[in-house]
Structure 1
């Protein structure tokens, strides 16, 4: 007969992680859609060329956009995105607890500390505020990658790589973590899994119109940022320092940034001696990975680091992926989580009694370090509700690409509050919506990779003839009325178009005449996405088979 008490105790870290994730997720449990900074979810999205990474801009949201598009044919797209985000928060904590158990043989209390560090830290807060929900999926996969590598579980690694591979950055994070902990011939297997997980964006990058080089201005714009009283290195060591000052929780904008960083690092530092004295190769590898990730971000933010980065993004294809240097501190999370567990097991026991309170003290310090993560980062993340106009316009749009006014990629609608958000049109409409990829950041403008969307926008703002739009493959023009932005002389062009829908929110025009075809070969891109899906499905199936065999052996 199973020992129910032992089973319940083993389940505590999973339930704790679930509860802590729920506290962070908070207001997003309510109905509505995540539309905040870079995060965009819609009731339904479509498998457009852009969703496959074949649009004008670099394929940064591949395969996430295609996966959500397919899933939204049977489930509400907003629910899909929120489910992935919540699962990422939960699994980050649970994975850290599992890793502490497998590598340190940690008991329940230290596992809880590890889970707390993985979920409750400035990196998670800042990436939530930036809207990087799919990057957090890659972040969550990291402790599971280490655990699967330690157990020799290729099905587990396959699932981790597929989940992390929702974005190019997540795939690279998983690969770097795996390479750090596996040995010898196993690196070949890691390489094969990495290619399968990365196939969607690798193929898209090779086929995309966007080109392979990035605007060098993005290197300085996306460099890690020093938070108050910390400097760049201190901010990164505290898992903070995102480039966007508008994506920072309030506690990181004052002297409390120093207080919170000290509290987190006290817990981590208290556990490091116990970790390192184990002389475990995997622990050493994770420590080196953490140091390199923090040092890379700090060096890249120096003047000569920026100069070097600018040269690299111009001359090395695909290197624009690395220009947001703060995101790589995610690689430090597995070590930090293990150090927290070690602190609760060993170091704190010599400082506090009774013994059972050591984990409570360690977890409490971590929670206090970033107090405003609670409830959607102090209520910043709230679900929004789209006006009915969007659904009506989506039903009207047919074949041919769509241009959007006002110019620019970011919007500020009455229903989104004060935050600038990415235009939801590309994910709301069944046809490709042309976007320049141009980003307005502190200190200037970072140009996108392609030029067709920029030419279309210039044609509209200059009041060019509809024939110019048609030659550029534009069949529709959508005007979004409730957001500020440049309109230029677009009225001259709009007056010559066919009005198909109009209300106070949106107006849709049809471009008359023959429109140049802009369809791209999709078979190879779709095949790459199928390979990614097979990696995920095959890994899950392998885990089920492995579990059944283990159960049969125990019987």
Structure 2
């Protein structure tokens, strides 16, 4: 019976995963914005620009050698909820069983997690889910800390930066800076080294594009304080802007912060209390920068592209989410209040359920995609693949019209040239263009309207994707090696 009780938070996380993912757990791939998995992913794709999917793509490819990639994706998605719930519960004294479930429920079901999942940022959320385990291990031997940081290490740069923001204040307070800093640095090397040598550039205009925005009735500050405020309207959930759920979400955070502050004078005060409080404050400050002080941030990014990750400041609300979960558990300790605390996160964010009411669903790739993948990957001749139409995202009918990053970017073993420019809608109706980070992709965009552009870029294949047999025009004089209902493949 004792083992079962210890597993209750993990079981709660599993239940929340089933409730949240719903139709996404059917056979197939869930494809939405950055949530892009492909069949038979290459182990070492030839990529350029900032290494955003390092080492997550390699880990997915390795696991896909022993398991169907469809199951690999579902394992990661469900694992986020289980890891988050069990980790938050582990920060609450074990004798407070219901309070542990309060922390578990809030940390695994909140607006921050929901919005980031709607943008498909599973790798970031994997690190965020493991954050409480890393906090718990900060004062333990480095081997335990490294193990706790593995989810963030798999997640890559964003997950590790959130972890560093959270753990370093704790390390300073506990005089563990060398151990924590070296562990963070060592686990960051897979993405840090290629980032420093990639030649990627960062457009300062991204500060305006990725600034926190009001997604409820209480303005930008109110949205951030309720753990929302993400820059993309496409990350929103149905009805989240209504005043009553927004009010309750804000009250939940207020109660959580109150409970956490009250822990300062409690005998149950954990040794990481002050460090997590500082991290939450710093994260909230960074989240406010783009919205309230964009000028200095643009200057920093123009000075050095390494400051680029600060432009999406809402990411750094993660320690505040964790602080709130722990604080709620300290207030809603037992009895009816604790039961209400377990149910409240779902009740105030009900449209996150069932795949966000259909926004997440599993589909299968049409046969054309596997066919062109086999042709291109079997060809030993050098040369890149150019993906057209020139645009970062696609909305396929077979994917229910859901927008997803171009699958060609992860499908082939050779260099893929694609438009990594991002178009972001602004509240006034305008669309802001954020130039891509990859120098080769930028050059391709500049040459796109010139004669012989594909040959000048060293292109071997051109992949044209379309619907209803309507395809973008490709370069003239090339040989058609495959033509299907969804894709046309040209070769030089």
| Rounded Cα–Cα distance in structure 2 between residues aligned with 1:140 and 1:238 | 19
Deviation at 1:299, TM superposition (A): 3.5
Match status 1:504 vs 2:485:
yes
- SS of the aligned residue for 1:265 comes to helix
**Which residue in the other structure is 1:551 paired with?**
none
TM-score w.r.t. length of structure 1: 0.82
Among 73, 87, 90, which residue is 2:82 paired with? 90
Kindly state the Cα deviation for residue 261 of structure 1 after the two structures are TM-superposed.
2.1
> Hey, what's the Cα distance between the residues in 1 that align with 2:40 and 2:147?
26
Q: Are 1:406 and 1:485, in contact at CA under 8 Å, matched by a contact in 2?
A: no
Q: Which residue of 2 aligns with 1:179?
A: 168
Choose which of 416, 422, 426 in structure 1 pairs with 2:409: 426
Q: Deviations over 1:202-247 (max 9, x none)?
A: 111122142xx31011001001111222121211111111100111
1:194 Cα deviation from its structure 2 partner: 1.2
In the other structure, the counterpart of 1:469 is 454
- Give the structure 1 partner of residue 428 of structure 2: none
1:334, distance to aligned residue in structure 2 (A): 2.2
CA contact (8 A) 2:384 2:414 kept: yes
> Counterpart of 2:364?
385
In the superposition, relative to structure 1, how do residues 483 and 123 fare at CA in structure 2: closer, same or farther (>3 Å)? Answer: farther
* Aligned counterparts of 1:216 and 1:326: Cα–Cα separation in 2: 17
C-alpha change, 1:221 and 1:293, in structure 2 (3 Å) is same
The number of residues matched between the two structures is: 479
Maintained 8 Å contact 1:230/1:257: no
C-alpha contact (below 8 Å) 2:131/2:149 kept by paired residues: no
Cα gap change, 1:485/1:132 in structure 2, threshold over 3 Å: closer, same or farther?
farther
The 1-side partners of 2:242 and 2:36 are apart by 30
Query: What is the match of residue 202 of structure 2?
Result: 214
Q: Is the 8 A contact 2:468 2:485 kept in 1?
A: no
Q: Does 1:448 align with 2:463?
A: no
CA apart distance, 1:257 = 5.0
In the TM superposition, residue 271 of structure 1 has moved relative to its aligned partner by: 2.0
Residue in structure 2 matching 1:34, options 16, 30, 35: 30
> Does structure 2 retain, via aligned residues, the 8 Å contact 1:21–1:86?
yes
Q: Which residue of 2 aligns with 1:195?
A: 185
Contact 1:71 1:77 in 2 (8 A): yes
SS in 2 for 1:402: strand
The answer to whether the Cα contact below 8 Å between 2:391 and 2:421 also exists between their aligned partners in 1 is yes
C-alpha contact 1:267 1:365 (8 A) present in aligned 2: no
Alignment of 1:115-126 (within 5 A): 115-126=104-115
Secondary structure of the equivalent of 2:433?
A: strand
1: CA distance between counterparts of 2:289 and 2:471? 37
Q: Aligned-pair RMSD on alpha carbons?
A: 2.1
Could you tell me which residue of structure 2 aligns to residue 143 of structure 1? 132
Call closer, same or farther: CA 1:85–1:484 in 2, change over 3 Å.
farther
For residues 29 and 394 of structure 2, the distance between their equivalents in structure 1, rounded to whole angstroms, comes to: 16
Q: CA deviation at 1:75?
A: 2.3
Look up the SS of the partner of 2:91 in the other structure.
helix
What residue is the counterpart of 2:41 in the other structure?
A: 45
Q: TM-score scaled by structure 2?
A: 0.92
* Structure 2 CA distance for aligned equivalents of residues 198 and 266 of structure 1: 34
Q: Deviations over 1:250-275 (max 9, x none)?
A: 13233245324234225414523531
* Aligned residue among 256, 276, 285 for 1:295: 285
Higher Rg:
1
* Offset, 1:392: 0.6
1:485–1:193 CA distance, 2 compared to 1 (3 A)? farther
Provide the residue aligned with 2:389 in structure 1: 406
Match of 1:17 in 2: 13
Q: Does 1:127 align with 2:119?
A: no
The C-alpha deviation readout for 1:284-336, integer Å capped at 9, x for no partner, is 2212221221232124311xx11111111111231111211111101212211
Distance 1:236 1:470, change over 3 A: same
Unaligned runs of 5+ in 1: 346-354, 512-555
The one-character-per-residue Cα deviations of 1:81-124 (angstroms, maximum 9, x if unpaired) are 221121111100110001113xxx55110000000110110001
Using the TM superposition, name which of 314-323 and 249-258 deviates more: 249-258
How does 1:190-339 map onto structure 2 within 5 Å? 190-210=180-200, 213-269=201-257, 271-278=259-266, 281-302=271-292, 305-339=293-327
Deviations along 1:55-82, one digit per CA (max 9) or x if unpaired, are: 1x22111111122223223322232222
Q: Give the equivalent residue in structure 2 for 1:417.
A: 400
On the 8 A contact 2:208/2:294 being kept in 1, the answer is: yes
Deviating 4+ runs (over 6 angstroms) = 483-486
In structure 2, C-alpha distance between the alignment counterparts of 1:149 and 1:483, rounded to whole Å: 55
d(CA) in 2 for partners of 1:114, 1:69: 33
Q: Aligned equivalents of 1:296 and 1:472: distance in 2? A: 39
Render the CA deviation track for 1:437-492: whole Å, top value 9, x for unaligned: 20011131100123322333454x42622xx42332211000002299994xx45x
Alpha-carbon distance, 1:412 to partner: 0.9
Query: Which ranges in structure 2 are unaligned for 5 or more consecutive residues?
Result: 426-430
2:468 and 2:236 map into 1 onto residues whose CA distance is 24
